[in-house]
Chain A
Amino acid sequence: MDINKFVRNFEDAIDNVDENTLSGESKFQEIAEWDSLALLSTLAMLDSEYNVSLSGEEIKSCSTLQQLFDLTISKK
């Protein structure tokens, strides 16, 4: 599993985010498209692509996509 694929999966899950616009450094909860549907979509993506379920609080605790990736890996 690599961070680049993870970022692509995230971009894919969130509406109106273009491909290759984010990176591991991106503060995903600060992008304009981040809302409750984006949160649900992120949870659904983590479940379908990584078979990991995180809580809302856990997602909130991550600042960058890299941190979210690391947390996801740690739950595998």
Chain B
Amino acid sequence: MNDSPFDLTGKMFLVTGASSGIGRQICIGISQMGGSVVAVGRNAEKLSETESLLKEGRHIFFSADLSIEEERLALIEKLPKLNGIVYSAGVFASLPIKFINKEKLNSVYGINYEAAAFLVQTVLKKKLIEPNSSIVFISSVASFIGAPGNALYAGSKAALNAFSRALALEVAKSKTRVNCVLPGIVKTPMTETINQQLSKEMIAEDEKKYPLGYGLPEDIANAVVFLLSDASRWITGTSLVIDGGLTIQ
């Protein structure tokens, strides 16, 4: 196993959004490949559920609301040296433009973009990341396709895409790589909440747009594990679309 370029033995990754859905599955995937995680979410109970699903490692679990600066800094104080970061924390909002206000904008951009940017900035400033590391942002196909109600969410994800390309160039000297993963709809607690707003027929109709159907958290996590490993050492600045064929049509 140790000879495999996909192996993560001995490596430590900061994973946000670790208490649920895609982020939780990424923690599981990392631990299966021998790596360890600093798993962050707000909900301590759900974080300990994640803990129960991991293989042994030097895992650290930390509850923090990352949209609050003090809580971000408290997390930073606890961080060991990292070999990578996965930013999967995020919220969805479905709000027609007529209903957008400053408060809604801040609540979506605050966690989806601002917290990501400042968290990574602080890790870099404090030199908590090793050379040859890998940073992955979970963006969304929403960042480049239009849908009614998606303006805020899509904008926050497009901002992440742009941020990651600039960052990729700024850290290239230390051979650290930065990539975005852009999922289509994946069955997680987040999409359950979105589906609450729709009727069953609308959901069934939407899934038909996906040649391979809706995705599962491991469909995203497996790609992230690859992007964290040395197997992807020449891949940086990309936006990897993982959407079961939705956007090739």
Which A residues contact B (CB, under 8 angstroms)?
13, 36-37, 39-41, 43-45, 48, 55-57, 59-60
Contacts and interface: CB of A to CB of B under 8 A. Distances in A.
Main secondary structure of the interface of B (DSSP, over half): loop
Contact of A56 (B98, B148, B202): B202
Contacts of A36: 148, 198, 202
B99 A48 contact: yes
A45 B197 CA distance: 13
A44 B98 CA distance: 9
A4 to B, nearest CB: 21
Given A40-B149, A60-B199, 17 more contacts: A13-B98, A36-B148, A36-B202, A37-B148, A40-B95, A40-B148, A40-B197, A41-B99, A43-B94, A43-B197, A44-B99, A45-B99, A48-B99, A56-B195, A56-B196, A57-B200, A59-B199
B245 interface: no
Contacts of A60: 199
Contact of B95 (A39, A44, A55, A59): A44
Given A36-B148, A36-B202, A41 B197 contact: no
Counting contact residues on chain B (CB < 8 A from A), the size range is 10 to 19
B149 A57 contact: no
13 contacts: A37-B96, A37-B148, A39-B197, A39-B198, A40-B96, A41-B96, A41-B98, A44-B95, A56-B195, A56-B197, A56-B198, A56-B199, A60-B199
